[in-house]
Amino acid sequence: MTQFLDGNQVSLLCNGAEYFPALVAAIDQAAREIYLETYIFEYDSTGRAIAAALKRAARRGVTTHLLLDGYGGKTLPREAIEEMRGDGVQVLIYRPSLAKFRRSSYRRLHRKIVVVDSRVAFVGGINIIDDMDTPGQTPPRYDYAVRVEGPLLPQIYEAARKLWGLVSWSQLKRRRRRQPPAFSPVPSGDVSASFVIRDNIGHRKDIEEAYLDAINNARSEIVLANAYFLPGRHFRQALIQAAARGVRVVLLLQGRVEYVLLHYATRALYGVFLDAGIEIYEYHRSFMHAKVAVVDGNWATVGSSNIDPFSLLLSREANVLVDDAGFAARLRASLEQAMEEGSRVVTSAHWKRQPLHLRLFSWLSYGGVRLLVGVTGYGRKGA
């Protein structure tokens, strides 16, 4: 059972336009310590601005940690990394080895966490990359993060500190470990929240179980927005059973083709969901990267975890759960706007008129994804 802590302030940040200025401001106010974890760190205008803020912090004596995924961060120029190191930023690469068909190669650092001075943290799905990065895209990439203050901070800080120590140890780059600060953040607001992670040690199913607990207890409405959506059997059944007991279930999914195999694999499940009375909206206005949900107008989550085998079975992920009607209402309103202004509803009648070759390709794609998961050794349960 997920444990919630009271007294937090949790602010919803929509897209990079709200997230990156808040992040730079927090880094510029840092006095002691920064941990930043990200999957992608693109050296575009956004990446350069974040790098510059980290370098400013390091030059004024702030202990500054940057942890990059070895695959997602591979486009960050070596020169940029060395320049940051030259200014005092400590940079580590998570799993730099990318051997094909080796199980460990698929265990990526996908979570996006920033902790500043044990005072403020950011958790969400937004990478360090310009919102307008995709060629031909006019509206910005659609995504969310949260800014957190209050009693939840120690858990987020400890997760970032522990992973940094683990990667340092594994790469034999350990420095003298600083004693973690003893701090007990005072209440900063009135929001009840929880921090959940997924890893391959002690938290293999924490995020999935948090979702399932909320879905299984839903009484009126589930609105789930997810960029890469390929749930396993238990997750699918939970959604279908919720719809069967009269809960309105709404899925807001990626409409544009970003990764062909995963896109069409997701569509293989449309018929099952539509037949169960689940509503499906495809977001076409821009590329959607969101991983959020609202249940019964009170429970909400924002984080990095997709509902697919790669997030739920392989990658390191992090989500914040919120039990608060005000926060849930803000996120619910944002999702409603996205559905109204940037999405197309998928009806059962329209779906059944899909050409046979598209249906066949969807099921072949689904089989291909499941095969890939099986090759890595993770597809044996809950498929």
Q: H or E element: which one contains 94?
A: strand 90-94
Contact at 8 Å (CB) between 335 and 61?
no
Contact at 8 Å (CB) between 346 and 322?
no
Among residues 6, 44, 296, 323, which one is catalytic? 296
Q: Where are the alpha helices (DSSP H) in 147-259?
A: 153-170, 206-216, 233-244
Sign of CA dihedral 193, 199, 203, 208: positive
Tell me the three state secondary structure of residue 316. Answer: strand
Q: Is there a catalytic annotation at residue 110?
A: yes
CA distance 333 to 339: 10
44 HSE (CA, 13 A, CB side)? 12
Q: Is there a catalytic annotation at residue 284?
A: no
Backbone angles phi, psi at 121, to 5 degrees: -135, 155
Q: Is there a catalytic annotation at residue 234?
A: no
Among residues 55, 65, 69, 112, which one is catalytic? 112
CA distance 306 to 59: 36
Query: CA dist 63 to 66, 170, 333, 339, Å?
Result: 10, 20, 39, 42
Among residues 69, 117, 130, 324, which one is catalytic? 117
Among residues 110, 130, 143, 308, which one is catalytic? 110
Q: Is there a catalytic annotation at residue 143?
A: no
Q: 236-239: long-range contacts (C-beta < 8 A, 24 or more apart)? A: 236/269, 236/272, 236/273, 238/212, 239/215, 239/273, 239/276, 239/278
CA distance 125 to 116: 18
Among residues 69, 291, 308, 324, which one is catalytic? 291
Hey, what are 28's tokens?
A: 């510029």
DSSP state of 197: E
Q: Please list the active-site residues.
A: 110, 112, 117, 289, 291, 296
